[in-house]
Amino acid sequence: MISTELRTGGHAYSVLIGAGLVRSIGDLIKKEVPTTRCATISDTNVAPRFLAPIQKSLRAAGFDPVPIMVPAGEQSKTLEQAGEICEEMLRAGLDRQSLVIGLGGGVIGDLSGFIASIFQRGIQHVQVPTTLLAMVDSSIGGKTGVNARAGKNLIGAVHQPALVIDDVDILKTLPPHELSQGFAEIIKHAIIADAEMFTNLSQIADPKLECIMHSSLSELVRRNVEIKARIIADDERDRKGERALLNFGHTIGHGIERAVDYRGVSHGDAISLGMIAACEISMKRAGLSQSDRDAIVDLLRKFELPTKLSPNFPREKIFDALKFDKKFEHGEIRFVVTPRIGSANLSRDITMEDIRAAVAAL
């Protein structure tokens, strides 16, 4: 088991990475969070596969877990759903000393973390991500939230977890498309902060099985956790602009998701398309070379991520969502660009015309 400590905003917590951790999850949590009452929040896809052994381990460690299940999908990330879960927790007798365990992908991590931030004015939260995307990105950093009609993650709070447990054995159960979603964020990290990892990914012969079948998977997760930890260490609440670098590809990517009301385009696919558009803008405004741009496109394709929007996609709706992007300030566009693989910066020189041209080229 690999243990990595994250420190941000005066708060420190561990990310545990390894195989077979679910079997001892109760003891692992007990060491960090001395309580007995907890809610395990999961969804209709994850709970049937993983909830039973986790409940068993929790009970063996002395916990009294209350299972809560929501419909799978982005549509569960609402204030209404969060309110219903809080009411269920109150009916079950949970209180300020209780714990929320989020078991699932990014949607569940965001939802359970938001609930932990507001229930009884804030209780502890443990993340147990079940997707590669959640392990390397959304489960760490403390950003939680639900969606508004205007856009994604516009209602939320920064609420750091007490512990993150990444059981890489869970990833072996995922279909190839679900794995590729995680590699979208891994490739993003490589583009903005780790040129060596970009090269290593480019050299993988089989982009699915080699990472899954060898012990390098735990190391890959650790490397990405530490990249994100470095970036957010001094900018927990995204006030200085440094944490905004993690949103490379997300401005247009979130617009793509919003354009179809979060249906039919998965998050990793949208971010892949957003990164292609960001590369077009970076070539024009940040000096990104054609060869670096082509290498990024080739790597995304290698991991079976999309690089083109369908001709009949409602592109105009993408721009409707941009005004709600959290990186924009007082109407001023702040956009993450990359001058070369392994580096990124936040630019104020990007225009709506640049963004429209990049979307048109997708």
CATH number, domain with residue 327: 1.20.1090.10
Cβ contacts of residue 48 below 8 Å, gap of 6+?
none
225 and 166 inside one domain: no
pLDDT of residue 212: 62
Pairing state between β 64-70 and 151-158: unpaired
Residues 133, 181 share a domain:
no
- Does residue 330 share a domain with residue 227? yes
Same domain assignment for residues 168 and 237: no
pLDDT at residue number 262: 84
> What is the rounded distance in angstroms from the CA atom of residue 62 to the CA atom of residue 197?
41
Query: Tens place of pLDDT for every residue, the chain, 362 residues?
Result: 899 988 877 789 999 999 999 999 999 999 998 899 999 999 999 999 999 999 999 999 999 999 999 999 989 999 999 999 999 999 999 999 999 999 999 999 999 999 999 999 999 999 999 999 999 999 998 999 999 988 788 899 999 999 999 999 999 888 888 999 999 999 999 999 999 999 999 998 677 666 665 558 899 999 999 999 999 887 777 666 678 899 999 999 999 998 998 888 999 999 999 999 999 999 999 999 999 999 999 999 999 999 999 999 999 999 987 876 656 665 678 899 999 999 999 999 999 999 999 999 99
Could you write out the three-class secondary structure of the chain? CEEEEEEECCEEEEEEEECCHHHHHHHHHHHHCCCCEEEEEEECCCHHHHHHHHHHHHHHCCCEEEEEEECCCHHHCCHHHHHHHHHHHHHCCCCCCCEEEEEECHHHHHHHHHHHHHHHHCCEEEEEECCHHHHHHHCCCCEEEEEECCEEEEEEEECCCCEEEEEHHHHHHCCHHHHHHHHHHHHHHHHHHCHHHHHHHHCCCCCCHHHHHCCHHHHHHHHHHHHHHHHHCCCCCCCCCCHHHHHCCHHHHHHHHHHCCCCCCCHHHHHHHHHHHHHHHHHHHCCCCHHHHHHHHHHHHHCCCCCCCCCCCCHHHHHHHHCCCCCCECCECCEEEEEECCEEEEECCCCHHHHHHHHHHC
- Could you tell me if 146 and 181 lie in one domain? no
Number of domains in the chain: 2
Strand partners of residue 2: 17
Provide the domain limits for residue 157: 2-173
For residues 285 and 266, state if they share a domain: yes
Last residue of a domain, one of 115, 146, 173: 173
Q: Specify the pLDDT at position 242.
A: 78
Q: CA torsion 226→139→262→357, rounded to 10°?
A: -20
Look at residues 139, 156, 173 and tell me which one is the last residue of a structural domain: 173
Task: Centre a 10 Å sphere on the Cβ of residue 42 and count the other Cβ atoms it contains.
Answer: 25
- C-alpha distances in Å from residue 259, one per residue of 232, 248, 252, 253: 29, 19, 10, 10
| pTM for this prediction | 0.91
* Same domain, residue pair 137 and 196: no
Residue 94 sits in a domain whose CATH number is: 3.40.50.1970
Convert 45-56 to b/e letters by CB count within 10 Å (16 or more is b). bbbeebbeebbe
Q: Are residues 59 and 115 in the same domain?
A: yes
Domain co-membership, 169 together with 199: no
Same domain, 162 and 221: no
Cβ-count burial 185-199 (b if 16+ within 10 Å, e if not): bbbbbbbbbbeebbe
Domain final residue pick, 173, 191, 214: 173
The reply to whether 193 and 144 lie within a common domain is: no
| Together in a domain, 161 and 142 | yes
